[in-house]
């Protein structure tokens, strides 16, 4: 099955031009799919009429905050406006954007049970009975289904399995990791970060602060990194942290935790902790993971 990362042009990957349109039958799982894309770092918007998608994407392109892509859910909740779906997709393609259309399908009897369980009305009720509404929904969506880049039948998928299938589509089934590692350096003198999943104290290593030549520099500079990593304990800790993250990333993803925050602390947050963040971020970035590096206290108390 074609993945979203395969479908996106090479130059457009991880940009606002990587557009996913999620559509399909009401009750088939669009909300679950949207949450998965949101966790993957996509800018998500629900229930946007198709005719507004090109205009919305134009606005998004003007923003520098959208790094991963855009996921838009669009379906018959838009009413008569949904009839513009095919024209909207054609307009996008004329503009050089090839959207990945994810169509969610589901058996009628399963949808009936889902609507009864959640006690919510189908968007086409009360004009139709529930069973009739599902069939009318399917009829109206038939042309859209034929345009789909991928079709996922959610009838017999548990929410966690469905989520994993969406993630596999978005990441190329392992070509690009779904996990986002966020590495933070900090100084214990300024307090510990409250949102870290792992915190490592590197104050046991010799401090470059006491070397007059290294004091004005930071862990972003090669001489400081060489000083810190010259110690066997630093290399050993790096290996242990990588082993821990490698061991836990898959189980975390299986339970829906795709964002893992790893903090390194030293005295002032300028030399040793920054070195570890730079080294670990580079290591996992080279492996294809989504990575961000934050140096919280780098410029505090700067010499």
22 and 80, same domain (yes or no) = yes
User: Which of 126, 142, 171 represents a domain boundary (last residue)?
Assistant: 171
The pLDDT score that the predictor gives to residue 122 is: 94
Residues 144 and 238 in one domain: no
Quickly list DSSP for the chain.
Answer: ---HHHHS-GGGTTSTT-EEEEEESTTSSHHHHHHHHHHTT-EEEES--GGGHHHHHHHHHT-S---S-EEEE--GGGGGGGGGHHHHHHHHHHTT---EEEEEE--HHHHHHHHHHHT---TTTTTS-HHHHHHHHHHHHHHHHTT-SEEEE-TT--HHHHHHHHHHHHHTTTTS---EEEEEEEEGGG---SS-SEEEE-TTSPPGGGSTTTTTS-TTSHHHHHHHHTSHHHHHHHHHHHHHHHHHHHHHHHTT--EEEEEEEESSSSSHHHHHHHHHHHHHHHTT-EEEEEETTTTTT--
Sheet holding 70-73, edge to edge: 43-46, 70-73, 19-24, 100-105, 150-153
The last residue of one of the domains, among 122, 137, 171, is 171
pLDDT at position 67, please?
A: 60
| 12 lies in the same domain as 154 | yes
In a domain, 215, yes or no: yes
Q: How many domains does the chain have?
A: 2
Q: Same domain, yes or no, for 12 and 153? A: yes
Q: Examine residue 212 and state whether it is found in any structural domain, yes or no.
A: yes
Do 196 and 256 lie in one domain? The reply is yes
Tell me the per-residue pLDDT of 141-188, one tens digit each, with 9 for 90 and over. Answer: 999 998 888 888 898 888 887 887 888 777 764 444 668 899 999 999
Domain check: are 161 and 28 in the same one? Answer: yes
Q: What is the CATH number of the domain that holds 164?
A: 3.40.50.300
**pLDDT at res. 7:** 52
Q: Are residues 89 and 121 in the same domain?
A: yes
Instruction: Give me the half-sphere count of Cα atoms (radius 13 Å) on the Cβ side of residue 130.
Output: 14
- pLDDT attached to residue 180: 83
CA 87 vs CA 25, 51, 80, 143: distances in Å: 20, 8, 13, 12
Any domain includes 268: yes
185 shares its domain with 41: no
The confidence score (pLDDT) of residue 17 equals 56
Its domain, for residue 274, covers: 180-295
Asked if 79 and 102 sit in the same domain, the reply is yes
Residue 303 falls within a domain, yes or no?
A: no
Phi/psi class of residue 47: alpha, beta or left (left: φ > 0; alpha: ψ in -120 to 50)?
left
Query: CA 237 to CA 202: how far, in whole Å?
Result: 9
Domain assignment present for residue 237? The answer is yes
Domain stop point among 171, 201, 223: 171
Within a domain: 300: no
Q: What pTM, to 2 d.p., does this model score?
A: 0.63
Say yes or no: 236 and 101 in one domain: no
The answer to whether residue 230 sits within a structural domain is yes
Shared domain check, 198 and 161: no
For residues 121 and 215, membership in a common domain is answered with no
pLDDT (0 to 100) of residue 159: 85
Residue 58 is assigned to a structural domain of this protein? yes
Mean pLDDT (10-residue bins), the chain, 303 residues: 50 58 95 91 91 88 72 92 92 89 93 90 92 94 90 85 81 62 93 90 96 95 97 97 93 77 95 97 90 89 67
């Amino acid at each position: 099955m074609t993945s979203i990362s395969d479908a996106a042009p090479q130059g457009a990957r991880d940009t606002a031009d990587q557009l996913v349109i999620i559509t399909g039958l009401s009750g088939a799982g669009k909300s679950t799919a949207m949450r998965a894309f949101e966790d993957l770092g996509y800018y998500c918007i629900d229930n946007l009429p198709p005719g507004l998608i090109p205009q919305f994407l134009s606005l998004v392109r003007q923003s520098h905050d959208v790094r991963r892509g855009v996921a838009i859910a669009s379906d018959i909740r838009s009413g008569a406006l949904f009839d513009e779906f095919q024209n909207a997709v054609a307009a996008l393609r004329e503009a050089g954007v090839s959207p990945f259309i994810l169509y969610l399908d589901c058996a009628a009897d399963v949808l009936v049970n889902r609507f009864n369980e959640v006690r919510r009305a189908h968007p086409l009720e009360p004009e139709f009975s529930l069973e009739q509404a599902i069939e009318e929904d399917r009829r109206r969506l038939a042309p859209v289904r034929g345009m789909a880049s991928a079709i996922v039948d959610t009838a017999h998928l548990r929410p966690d399995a469905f989520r994993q299938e969406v993630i596999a589509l978005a990441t190329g089934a392992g070509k690009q990791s779904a996990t986002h590692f966020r590495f933070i350096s900090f100084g214990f003198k300024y307090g510990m970060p409250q949102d870290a999943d792992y915190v490592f104290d590197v104050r046991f290593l010799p401090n470059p602060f006491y070397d007059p030549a290294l004091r004005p520099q930071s862990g972003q500079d090669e001489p400081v990194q060489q000083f810190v990593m010259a110690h066997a304990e630093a290399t050993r800790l790096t290996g242990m942290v990588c082993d821990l993250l490698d061991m836990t990333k898959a189980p975390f993803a299986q339970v829906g935790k795709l964002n893992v925050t790893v903090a390194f602390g030293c005295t002032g947050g300028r030399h040793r902790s920054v070195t570890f963040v730079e080294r670990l971020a580079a290591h996992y970035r080279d492996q294809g993971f989504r990575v961000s590096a934050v140096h919280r206290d780098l410029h505090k108390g700067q010499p």
